[in-house]
């Protein structure tokens, strides 16, 4: 395939889409349609994996701890029309590409070291 054809097949992220990495704490706003009603559902948690790079089928998985310490994971397509916006609340310093080990940790053991940035 030619480069022009490949470029036309590649979907584009919205201009305001933030750079997300494993370890980031994010808040995902997703549009949910139930019958005729539409609402925005917010899912906040830690990005534990990014799959597929920047391809059309790329996904990221967000994990949060619900009540009683039960972990909930949700996988979102990177190029989904139903995702209204993604907010990065904090960035963490991690040394792994997939953070599946967080599934076995609870409470303070599941904390990640925060990246600090100088504001100029």
Higher pLDDT, 71 or 119: 71
The CATH class of 17-92 is: mainly beta
- Say what the pLDDT of residue 78 is: 87
The average confidence (pLDDT) of the chain is 84
* 53-65: average pLDDT: 87
Residue with tokens 């303070």: 108
Domain boundaries, the chain: 17-92
Structure letter (DSSP) for residue 82: S
Convert the pLDDT of each residue in 16-44 to its tens digit: 678 888 999 999 999 999 999 999 999 99
* Cα(99)–Cα(17) distance, integer angstroms: 22
**For residue 100, which of 56, 47, 57 has the smallest C-alpha distance?**
47
Neighbours of 102 (CB within 10 A): 22
pLDDT at res. 46: 92
Give the model's confidence band at 67: pLDDT under 50 very low, under 70 low, under 90 confident, else very high: confident
Distance CA 45, CA 73 (A): 9
* pTM of the full structure: 0.79
Q: Check residue 39 and give its pLDDT.
A: 94
Q: What does the alpha-carbon distance between residue 46 and residue 31 come to, in Å, rounded to a whole number? A: 20
């Amino acid at each position: 395939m030619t480069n022009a054809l490949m470029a036309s097949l590649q979907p584009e992220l919205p201009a305001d889409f933030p750079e997300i990495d494993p370890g980031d704490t994010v808040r995902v706003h997703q549009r949910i349609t139930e019958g005729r009603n539409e609402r925005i559902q917010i899912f906040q948690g830690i990005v534990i994996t990014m799959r597929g790079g920047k391809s059309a089928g790329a996904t990221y998985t967000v994990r949060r701890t619900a009540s009683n310490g039960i972990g909930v994971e949700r996988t979102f397509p990177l190029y989904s029309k139903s995702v209204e916006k993604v907010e990065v609340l904090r960035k963490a310093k991690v040394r792994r590409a997939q953070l599946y080990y967080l599934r076995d940790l609870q409470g303070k053991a599941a904390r990640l070291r925060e990246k600090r940035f100088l504001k100029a």
